[in-house]
Amino acid sequence: MNKEIFISEIKESLVTKSDLNFLEKVDDETLQKIHKEIHDYISRTEELQKPVFKVMAVATQFIPNFIIAKLAHDYLTPYIIAQVTIYMDPKAAAKIAKSLRIDYMAQVALYAAPEITARIGNFMDPNITAQIVKDLTSKNFTGKLGELADILEDKVLLSIVNALHDGKIVGSIANVMMNQEKILRIAEQMPVEIRNAAKLQLQTLGNKLADQF
């Protein structure tokens, strides 16, 4: 069992900025139970609220995007919006996202399942997505970004890398990606300065993937 991964997943599930390193002192069995209880609670809550989220998704078809954004910022949590997007057309969700604050969208991305976020991300403006990536990176949510990078379309991921223009962030995300073949394909198409900076970051993090960059 890798405690670091379990703690990282708990942190992302709770969407908290708090330092959870104290969990390293918890024995493996107890940590696994905590991890399971959190995920079970989230699943139960989502199941009970599904009918409400479905109705809200339908309602978004008849409300102007700027009004939806106003309602979201003032009255709806990022968690609620994340659940509503499950039942929305990804293109429609991407259009609404343009009216939301970057920090708000970043939290929505954390609450949503990676598959849903990636599906919407395929239709997002790369410059906006790059800002969201920077926000999540500044808050140490690179694990979530790695999951998203694994399933985004290649051309979309490359466009985000180019818009991001920050090799250190790219290297940090590559460090946690599971699909190494994918990031190596993307690396071949990166601007030289981004690729070199990403390679240096991978070396700094002790990832042997740097040797193939």
Residues 6+ apart with CB under 8 A from 43: none
pLDDT digits 0-9 by tens, 21-77: 788 888 888 888 888 888 888 777 777 778 888 889 999 999 999 999 999 999 888
Burial of 116 (0-12, 13-18, 19+ CB in 10 A): buried
pLDDT digits 0-9 by tens, 134-174: 999 999 899 999 999 999 999 999 999 999 999 999 999 99
Neighbour count for residue 126 (Cβ, 10 Å): 18
State how far the Cα of 71 lies from the Cα of 54, in Å rounded to an integer: 17
Model pTM score: 0.74
Mean pLDDT score of the chain, rounded to an integer?
A: 90
pLDDT digits 0-9 by tens, 90-113: 999 999 999 999 999 999 998 888
Tokens 């985004």 map to which residue? 152
Tell me the pLDDT band of 1, cut-offs 50, 70 and 90: low
Instruction: For helices 142-151 and 114-121, give the axis angle rounded to 10 degrees.
Output: 60
State how far the Cα of 97 lies from the Cα of 112, in Å rounded to an integer: 13
Gap between the terminal Cα atoms of the chain: 29
CA atoms within 13 A on the CB side of 3: 12
Burial of 168 (0-12, 13-18, 19+ CB in 10 A): middle
| Whether 139 contacts 17, CB under 8 Å | yes
Whether the pLDDT of residue 85 is over 60: the answer is yes
DSSP string computed for 73-141: HHH--HHHHHHHGGGS-HHHHHHHHTTS-HHHHHHHHHHS-HHHHHHHHTTS-HHHHHHHHHHHHHTT-
